[in-house]
Amino acid sequence: MINMFRTYNPINILWLGILLFLLRLGYAYDAPPRLEFTYLEPFARLIMPGKYQFAFPPLFDMFLAGTLVFIQALLVNYLVNQYGLLSKPSFLPALMYITLSGLFTPFLVLSPPLICNFLLIWMLHKLLALYKGDEANSITYDVGMIVAIGSLIYFPFIYMFLAIWSALLLFRPFNWREWVIGIMGYATILFFLAVAYYLSGNLPLFSTIWDPLTTKFPTHVNINYYNYLVLVPVIVIFVLGIIKINQIFFRSYVQVRKAFQLLFIIFLIAGLSFYVKAEFSLTHFLLCVIPVSVFFAYYFLYAAPRWFYESLFFLLLVSIVYFQFNTF
């Protein structure tokens, strides 16, 4: 399967759709009777009157989520190929994104982090353009607004603001105006939110939107470790990917090296910002899927021998399907 997706053949789009369906079949067989989807944080609901919670039929909810994942996979694939992050065009990034988006059953339904992945892809398009761009002010302003919009949908997304400064540090010589204008972009969205609070007579409550940032980082999380055995092949592939990147890192173009550094920073930001939400939820880690997908694609593009990497990927697929049918 990996060899097939190493080529940039449009027929692979059909195979991506088939794989997407198969990876969600197990959960569709035993889905809960009701799935609710809330698309705005409580503090942001003043700016959009109406209902913020939808209870879709489970199969329709999964269909919408699968459609979004499919679109996002193609966008990630386009992003990687456009900026030449791999040595040649392929459909490996899309394959890895669809696979990792089916890793846990909470990933298979609509959720705010899934919506925010569209914004993260948009951010990456703009941030990677900083390397060769002559003017960065408009880009950083736009990305600041994107982060603000994302934080209205899913508050931990606010930490993606650190990715803006990381990109400026990696791609641009220091210019304090470029660092400040990102804050201005974020403040623009906050201004409209403050106006909504003022018009509704809730302006004294505006400062409470920052309360989650005071949450202490947890020292432990109560989880059932048997449910996370599916991560074993993921960790193995990720480590092998890091090793492979390290082997040929300095033979890559400077832009590619800096892009992978930015992706790793985004992975760390996404992974460590889960604690902002009061209740631990696996859906948060959908924000990690984009950078991890690119690392996986890089490994499988250069991996050898064939029997090993094909077996490793097959093991990952089998474990995902197995844990959809089995909970401990």
Q: What is the DSSP string of 33-59?
A: S-EEEE-S-GGGGGGS-S--EEEE-HH
Question: What residue has token string 């909810």?
Answer: 61
**Which DSSP helix (H) or strand (E) runs through 304?**
none
Kindly list the domain boundaries of the chain, sorted by start residue: 2-325
Nearest to 317 by CA among 25, 11, 9, 111: 25
Nearest to 3 by CA among 324, 310, 232: 310
Name the band, by pLDDT with cuts 50, 70 and 90, for residue 165. very high
The answer for residues whose C-beta is within 8 angstroms of residue 281's C-beta and 6 or more apart is 106, 274
- pLDDT, tens digit, 9 for 90 and up, residues 202-219: 888 888 888 777 777 766
pLDDT, residue 186, reads 93
The answer for residues whose C-beta is within 8 angstroms of residue 71's C-beta and 6 or more apart is none
Average pLDDT, the chain: 85
Structure token pair of residue 281 = 């939820």
Q: Note the maximum CA span of the chain.
A: 65
The backbone region for 270, taken as left when phi is positive above 0, alpha when psi lies in -120 to 50, beta otherwise, is: alpha
Instruction: Break the chain down into helix, strand, coil percent, rounded to 5.
Output: 75, 0, 25
Whether residue 64 is predicted with pLDDT greater than 80 in this model: the reply is yes
Peptide bond into 305 cis (omega under 30): yes
**255-258, Cβ contacts within 8 angstroms, sequence gap of 24 or more:** 255/83, 255/84, 255/128, 255/131, 255/132, 256/83, 256/84, 256/85, 258/131, 258/170, 258/171
Percent of the chain with pLDDT over 90: 37
- pLDDT, tens digit, 9 for 90 and up, residues 67-95: 999 999 999 999 999 988 888 899 999 99
Alpha-carbon distances, residue 147 vs 60, 74, 142, 171, 301 (angstroms): 29, 22, 9, 19, 32
Q: How far is CA 172 from the centre of its chain?
A: 24
Q: pTM (2 decimals)? A: 0.91
Environment class of 172 (CB within 10 Å of its CB; exposed 0-12, middle 13-18, buried 19+): middle
- pLDDT, tens digit, 9 for 90 and up, residues 239-270: 888 888 777 766 667 778 888 999 999 999 99
**Considering only 19-23, 77-81, 118-122, 173-177, which range has the smallest mean pLDDT?**
173-177
3-class secondary structure, 231 = helix
